[in-house]
Copies of this chain bind each other. A is one copy, B any other.
Amino acid sequence: MFVSADDVSDTSATIADRIFDRLRQAIVEGEIPPGSKISEPVLAARYGISRGPLREAMRRLESTNLVDRKPNVGARVITLSSDQLLEIYVIREALEGMAARLAAQQMSDAAIADLQQLLAQHRSEVARDGQTYFQQEGDLDFHFRIVQGSGNRRLIDILCNDLYHLARMYRCQFGMKSDRVRDAIKEHELIADAIAEHDGELAEWLMRRHIRLSRRAVERRLVAENSGQSVSTFRSRH
C-alpha cells in the first residue's frame, strides 16, 4: 500500500525526525492525498510508533506549511490552489534571482564546470527523448545547484527546505508535462554563462526572467484547463 522507502536515507537518530521525513515525502508525492485529515492514532499505528514523536513531526510539518492544523480538531494536508502556486513562483523569482547574483560572485570554477556539465547532460537528454518527466527533476537540480552556489545558508534553507518541496508537490499533483523544456534549457544555459562570467547583475536578471516565464506558462495552462471547471482544489485520488 505504501511505497516503501524508495531512496530516503531515514537514518536519523530519533523517531520524530525519521517520521517527519517520511511524512513529508508521503505528502509531497501525493501518497497522503491533499485535503485528507490526518488522524494521529491511525498514523501512529500505521508507522508502528507512539503519538509523541508523531505530534512533534506534525508540529514541524505545520511550520513548513505542509499541513494545516486547528486546535482540538486536527490536521489536514494542505490543498494546493493555483493562487498559492503562483505566489511561490513570485517568491522564487525574488529569491533565486538573488541566489543567481550571489552564485555569479562566489561560485568556484570547479562548481561552475560541474554546473555546465549538468547542463550538457540535460541538453543531450532532452535531445534524445523529448520532454520526459525526469526532465522536471533535472530542472529542480539546476536550480538547486545555483542556490547552493549562493553560499547564503539561510537562503539555501528557505529554498531547499520549504519551497522546493512545495514545487515538487505541485509537480506530483499536476501532470506537469511542460512543453517549455527546450526554452527552459536555453534559459538555463544563458544563466550558466552569466555565472561563468561572474556577471551577477545579468545572472539575476536572466534568472528572474526565466522564473517569470515559467510562471506565465503555468498561468496559461491554468486558464486553459480552468475553462469551466475549478482547478483551485485538486481531486483527492485516494
Contacts and interface: CB of A to CB of B under 8 A. Distances in A.
Interface string A1-17: 00000000000111011
Given A12-B71, A91-B98, A63 B60 contact: yes
Q: Is the interface of A mostly helix, strand, loop or mixed?
A: helix
B90 A152 contact: yes
A121 interface: no
A152 B59 contact: no
A230 interface: no
A55 B52 CA distance: 9
Contact of A60 (B16, B60, B93, B158): B60
A56 B62 CA distance: 11
Contact of A94 (B56, B98, B153, B157): B98
Contact of A154 (B12, B65, B98, B152): B65
A88 interface: yes
Given A13-B72, A17-B71, A91 B60 contact: no
List 3 A-B pairs, minimum CB-CB distance, nearest first.
A63-B63, A13-B71, A94-B98
